[in-house]
A and B are shown apart, each in its own frame.
Chain A
Amino acid sequence: MAEALSQPVSFYQAKTGLFSWIFSTDHKRIGLLYFYAIISFFLVAMSLGFLMRLELIAPGETIMDAKTYNQVFTLHGVIMIFLFLIPSVPAFFGNFLLPLMIGTDDVAFPKLNLFSWWLYVLGGIFALLTLVVGNGPADTGWTFYAPYSVKTGTNVTMAVLAAFILGFSSILTGLNFIVTIHRLRAPKMKWFQMPLFAWALYATAWIQLLATPVIGITLLMIIAERVFGVGLFDPALGGDPILYQHLFWIYSHPAVYIMVLPAMGLISEMIPTFAKRTIFGYKAIAYSSLAIAFIGYFVWGHHMFTSGMSGPARVIFSVLTFLVAVPSAIKVFNWVATLYKGSINVKTPLLFSLAFIFQFLLGGLTGLVIGALATDIHLHDTYFVVGHFHYVMFGGAGFAFFGALHYWYGKIWGKMYNESTAQIAFWLMFIGFNVLYFPMLVLGIMGMPRRYYDYLEDFTTLNVVSTVGSWILISGIILMIYNLIVSRKKGEAAPRNPWGSTTLEWQTPSPPPLHNFDATPVVPEGNPYDHKQNKSE
């Protein structure tokens, strides 16, 4: 109570009104703007996923025709990748937390930050406009493979333009974070005293900055070909379809790490807190982020093992793919070792983190199966791949995002969520997720291709199971969101440091004041996760 009295004006109260939000340069408000947009897009794309699974509950036409199905999975993929996952962790948690974690009052370029959000909104509007403008939304898959993307009558041009604009938003956020981390750390914070989430954002930001321009150019080339008939990728016009695939994956493989590295950073924050001990192998985790970011640039060819690439190229891409698995494995070992001899407090964020480890592990191991040449030839473009990437992106990055939402909920909104409801929602999500996606791995091994509107009778049973899984998962998600909404009103007031965490954002009130700290934050000596130092919280 004493704390509540001395509570300074929070950033919510500092200014009010719509314009104080949409033209705000405060990193916390911009983070929240991203959050509301991102979560809305997630719910839209989740509903599309629900419809897809409903269509696939039985062979033949169930609720929509083939063309509509193709448009639905394309829009689902585009939204999930470009509007949910890529911005989710960096643009929301990164914006909100990075300056707090490194003890400063904002990012390096606050106006640029606001501009990035506006670009994001513009890209989102373009993506949604494809629904009503032109010949309907694109039906190419989120990969926009040429020459189909050049030939189809649907509104690929606008979808591609949306992705192009979103790319710029991502580049500028990356740039902002790199400069912020270099220039604005609290005076006493050395590189190896930064929280691991900051390290993860740092590695990610370099990928955003260096890889995203490639997709920008590639997408412009598609537009040039569609609108002006320039022969780049369509052999009918003298172009080369394989060139497109190379250019696309040169960005899109590293982009996979844009999606998952920051999520790994979130896990590295949550596990020490709930184990009440320091992280095991701090430096190994920090360096492995950089290693993943670096090696990740050179493995794109593993998406093209069946495209007719030369033998040596296939072999080299396969070896490198296996090597990039090692730093990820190291992280997993370090997280598990962090639980050793801890004093473990099983709360919702930890449950999500443990589910992350299990699902990310399964996603990573299935990644090895498709990184190997012999097995990939069989599994490429089958449901095994759909299962694999949902395990990594949703079971991994998505679960980390939701776990983190609970972990920092009090810090961001000033109230605590309801723990028991949150745990019920978690279990529904965990069970639903695995019932939804595990059968896909089996379907792929049986030979069912992906992007399949209709399938042979043999595949029916597992498709039914998978669809039932989607219902369980979605009920879990709805319950989780309901709980988070209700807790905003009904939850108990959040103290500064509800979990006994050690990083700087927990030294300030929840929610923080406009300029982040009411007193100069104390950078702990040595390792940032030393629980022995801040015993008293």
Chain B
Amino acid sequence: MFSNASNFVQGVDTSFAIILGASLFFLVGITGVMVYFVVRYNKNKHPEAQDVHENKKLEITWTVIPTILVLVMFYFGWTGYEPMRKIPEEGIKVKAHAQMWSWQFEYENGKYSDTLVVPKDEAVILDLISRDVVHSLYIPAFRIKEDVVPGVNNKMWFIGQELGKYNIFCAEFCGDLHSKMLSSVHVIAPEEYNVWYNDTTQPEIHPGLVVLKKNACVSCHSLDGTRIVGPSFKGIWGHEVEVITNGEERTVMVDEDYVKRSIYDPNADVVKGFNPGLMIPYQNLVTEEEVNEIIDYLKTLK
């Protein structure tokens, strides 16, 4: 009857069917009775009202029955949810890095991917890591969602049971491009997965660009001159920029020192016209070597 995209879908959809079914029953039933009374006891048909003050039996009935019913609903909500918290020990472990406004998935062998590729019928355990604000990893087709909270190590898991490609959304509001923070899960055959997983050759792109993509720098800094939330990288190298340092305006040359400082301590020099605080310090996330690769790459962006 239901889809079987993940190991949770049937349990959750059963809860849905029961709770939505009961709700619909009450909605139609109560509204129906209400409308019937309004028609039946309209003053034209029923000019003389009769008082009915209370009826203890009736009132007890309609307290006790709903109490039982809501507890039943609670129970089904709980059973559909239980398996989500029973995270297995064994499985494919992937670190899901969320940051404004992109997803990066890091595999055990160090491979990075901006889509989540997983083999069919194997447990996948996601370590949810945020470097900036709260995000939430949501895969509607799998019926799962868990917040990605900075400084907190949340986890989630699932088994993809049907081959295919499913949307990943960010469900917790995280700023300007929240609605663009999209990715997808690809459930592929295990053999195919092994090939993919073991293929660690980097695509033929500049290593500096790899660093920029891996750290989601490009979701705030464009490469083609358009303004996102940070200044575009196009043509900044070797040019002067106006920055605000400790409240004072000054002009600096974009050179090695400046770029490094901008990455490790972005709030030291804030580019004029942009907001401080959005870019996090990458001190522990981007190595000096990687900074040099970035600089190398910036030089190519004329």
Contacts and interface: CB of A to CB of B under 8 A. Distances in A.
Given A147-B132, A306-B147, A354-B38, A276 B63 contact: no
Interface residues of A, number: 90
A308 B152 contact: yes
B3 interface: no
Contacts of B176: 66-67, 70, 139
A152 B175 contact: yes
Contact of B49 (A145, A277, A315, A449): A277
Nearest to B50: A341
B134 A284 contact: no
A31 interface: no
Contacts of A151: 132-133, 277-278
Q: How large is the interface on B (under 10, 10 to 19, 20 to 34, 35 or more residues)?
A: 35 or more
Interface in B182-224: none
Contacts of A530: 51
Contact of A152 (B31, B277, B280): B277
Contacts of B46: 341-344
A375 B27 contact: no
Interface string A320-351: 00110110011011001101111111100000
B77 A371 contact: yes
Interface string A256-290: 00000000000000000001111011111000000
A378 B43 contact: no
Nearest to B175: A148
Nearest to B70: A322
A110 interface: no
A343 B41 contact: yes
B140 interface: yes
Interface string A352-392: 00100110011001101101111111101110000000000
Nearest to A330: B63
A518 B251 CA distance: 77
A273 B103 CA distance: 58
A487 interface: no
B95 interface: no
B243 interface: no
B77 A452 contact: no
Contact of B19 (A148, A314, A372): A372
Contacts of A187: none
B87 to A, nearest CB: 11
B178 A453 contact: yes
B245 interface: no
A447 B169 contact: yes
Interface stretch (A235-243, A461-469, A474-482): A235-243
B43 A344 contact: yes
A249 B259 CA distance: 41
A46 interface: no
B20 A153 contact: no
B277 A326 contact: no
A451 interface: yes
Contacts of A453: 178-179
Nearest to B15: A374
Given A308-B149, A311-B85, A343-B43, A369 B49 contact: no
Interface of B: 11-12, 15-16, 19-20, 23, 26-27, 30-31, 33-35, 37-38, 41-43, 46-54, 58-59, 62-63, 66-67, 70-71, 73-74, 76-81, 84-85, 132-134, 136, 138, 140-141, 143-147, 149-152, 154, 167, 169-180, 275-278, 280-281
